[in-house]
Chain A
Amino acid sequence: MERPLVVKFKRPDSIRDYPCGAFRVGTLVQENSGWRVFRPVIDTGKCIKCLRCFLVCPDGVIDKSGEDLEIDYRFCKGCGVCAYECKVGAIVMMREGDDGNAR
């Protein structure tokens, strides 16, 4: 999976060092998987790789670089849009902990 770097924010020493507009610290400064109540789980057997979930995911956490689609759970907030939009029922939402997997 191609995973984005988490770049820790270093507080500038002086107000002069704050950016004027665009900020090059890195787009991700923290993981937010803890926001999730439900997690989407892809059934790769059912998945036809139409990439609908890839397109609609508001956080861009669905990775298509490998053989099968994968979800980067570090950044998935569990909104369920992917499961709602999947036309072949290949994504189900499971309550965190119910599937026996730790977060």
Chain B
Amino acid sequence: MPGRKVFISGDEAVAEAVRLARPNVISAYPITPQTVTVERISEFVEDGSLKAEYLHVESEHSAMSAALGAAAVGARTFTATSSQGLLYMAETLPYVSGARFPIVMMNANRTLATPWALLSDHRDSLSQLDSGWIQVYCENAQEAMDMIIQAYRIAEDPRVMTPFMVNLDGFILTHTYEMVDLPAQENVDRFLPPYRTANRMDLDDPKTVCYAALDDYMEFHLKQELDMRKVPGVIEEVELEFKGIFGRSYGGLVEKYCCEDAEAVLMTLGSVTGTARAVVDAMRMEGKMVGLAKIRFMRPFPAAEIAGIAGNTKAMGILDRDLSVGYEGIVFTNARSAVCEIESPPRMINFIGGLGGRNISKEDMRQIFDQLMQAARGEQGERVRFVNARCE
């Protein structure tokens, strides 16, 4: 049964994917630019097209706490947030991951106050890298839809049992309309069977959930780490099966684009990848050996994949839409830690741009690649560079 072409926004694509995934409980609090998603889902529950309990809670902290409670009785759950909302719910995130509840959450990436702003950057979700959640970053509405559906399969896999955050850039993806292939329900049902788990409260088989562990805390946490290391393999399996049914795949942890013979490679996260792709195409036409790698998953972190790309190029740029004030971009810190393992690492430059939603144009992107090509030729320069910003 083929899908249906629909013209919808990223927020609506997520809502449609949630309806297809048939969660039992949705608990959410609206925040721009995620609002459309939770409004649509609320309408689906109201019109009966999604048979679920919808909890209209009073805050993001309550949204995740209620989702945790629902997951604790074995319900498939969904919530969504953004920016300050994600930080407000932050206390509950390690609670969920440690208790091994496979909650799926959409996060509409939005900058953090102060200054208060509405548009997109990645400081919100990257601040939660250590919360024990899987994190994926999407390039377009189709990928966001597909990743919500895949997220449940990966998170609920008995080898994984780990919550999953699907990130999409606020406004750039959440509010932009695109042609999206909406999968048929019967195909999604085939791909994603109902959630069954032993990790739940059960009156007939009493167990402890969200337990305390004093001396054994470390083993519980290490077990989480060991299971997280299995996630790349599960992602690969699930993506292969998804491709077999729906015909689409996204390249696993890192999507490589023209990397094989590239002298300079730029690594990106999220929607800006589309701009970089177009610029790589144009520069390749001019004979310039540039390449692109889209980091899709930040947790588990694709260290081996990034090291592999780095070992095959002369200069590598990391484009961060975030800044850890006092150091450098968060993705850069992670990537360089992976690259320092290899014998002859490339020159690495951290480009920081798009903070507070400032546009990263094709021209900006071309300048980034020009700087990378100069570095590939051996030119020295600053380690951290700001894109299209007044620094003086």
Contacts and interface: CB of A to CB of B under 8 A. Distances in A.
Nearest to A28: B208
A21 B209 contact: yes
Interface string B131-155: 0000000000000000000000000
Contacts of B197: 21
Interface string A1-13: 0000000000110
A27 interface: yes
A22 B207 contact: yes
Nearest to A25: B208
Interface string B207-250: 11101000110011011001100000000000000000000000
Nearest to B197: A21
B226 A21 contact: no
A21 B223 contact: no
Chain B residues touching A, majority SS: loop
Given A11-B216, A18-B216, A23 B222 contact: no
A5 to B, nearest CB: 11
Interface residues of A, number: 12
A20 B206 contact: no
Contact of A22 (B200, B216, B226): B200
B199 interface: yes
A25 B209 CA distance: 11
Given A15-B219, A15-B222, A18-B219, A24 B207 contact: yes
A20 B207 contact: no
Contacts of B207: 22-24, 27
Interface of A: 11-12, 15, 18, 20-27
19 contacts: A11-B215, A11-B216, A12-B219, A15-B219, A15-B223, A18-B219, A20-B158, A20-B161, A20-B199, A20-B223, A21-B161, A21-B197, A21-B209, A22-B208, A22-B209, A23-B207, A23-B208, A26-B208, A27-B208
